[in-house]
Amino acid sequence: MAKLAKGRAFDIRDYGSKNAGLTNTFRVLGWKPALPVVFLDLLKGFFGPWIAMRLCEMQVAAGGADYSHWVPLVAGILVILGHSFTCFAGFRGGKGVLAALGVFLALCPITALSCFGVWVVLTATTKYVSVGSIGACVALAAISTLGFLGMPFPPEKINLGLWITCLLVAVFVIVKHKANIKRLMNGTENGFGSKRKK
């Protein structure tokens, strides 16, 4: 990707925030090289649990045991961990935001889209992607809890396993943003646009 964008090969983790995720790709290489990152991370996150769900359905249709209550959840967690600690890049990956969005689009799409809406609003108003990402994680924990408690919003049922998965992923992604949180507190976090709020 770097070679196509800049005409030479280099490790993007040596530049900017030294992260292999979308935001740093956008800052270092521009929006065109960042687009494939968006689609690949989302598809990677989505198809992990989605394939697991289809395999579980085939298992049940063949008269086997139903593992759909936990296998897709494990698949989703493994996708996020594999993205964040990829063995193909020295176990240094992204923060898992887009991969997590893809995972929950497969597992609980209404909750996922609601959290994406929170991300859009916070990122647009504060000019900080990290604020949007952290806020979306807080929303994931809150909205999934409402679904687990049977509240009318979101209008989809969140079972115990999915609820725990939502909480674990939310905490994990927020912890991955610890450096961003420190920079936000110090007023040194990189934002987008000329108008940035501390």
* Tally of structural domains, the chain: 1
Most confidently modeled of 13-27, 43-57, 81-95, 149-163? 43-57
Residue 108 forms part of a structural domain: yes
Sorting pLDDT into bands at 50, 70 and 90, what band is 7?
very low
Residue 145 forms part of a structural domain: yes
Q: pLDDT tens digit string along 80-102?
A: 999 899 876 667 778 899 999 99
Residue 194 forms part of a structural domain: no
For the chain, percent of residues with pLDDT exceeding 70: 78
What does each C-alpha distance from 133 to 16, 77, 87, 124, 127 come to in angstroms?
18, 18, 24, 12, 12
Residue 140 forms part of a structural domain: yes
Residue 12 forms part of a structural domain: no
**Residue 190: its pLDDT value, please?**
80
**Residue 30: its pLDDT value, please?**
54
Q: State the virtual CA torsion across 21, 23, 24, 28 in degrees, nearest 10.
A: 130
31-61 and 97-107 helices, crossing angle to 10°:
30
**Residue 29: its pLDDT value, please?**
60
Residue 73 forms part of a structural domain: yes
Q: Dihedral of CA 72/107/45/182: which sign?
A: negative
Sorting pLDDT into bands at 50, 70 and 90, what band is 60?
very high
Residue burial 76-106, b: 16+ Cβ < 10 Å; e: rest: bbebbebbbeeeeeeeebbbbbbbbbbbbbb
Residue type, 117: G
Taking residue 165's Cβ as centre, other Cβ atoms within 10 Å add up to 26
Residue 8 forms part of a structural domain: no
Residue range 11-22: average pLDDT? 54
Q: pLDDT tens digit string along 99-155?
A: 999 999 999 999 999 999 999 999 999 999 999 999 999 999 999 999 999 998 888
- Cβ atoms of 84 and 176 closer than 8 Å: yes
Taking residue 17's Cβ as centre, other Cβ atoms within 10 Å add up to 19
Tokens 């983790």 belong to residue: 13
Instruction: Quote the domain boundaries for residue 111.
Output: 19-186
Residue 196 forms part of a structural domain: no
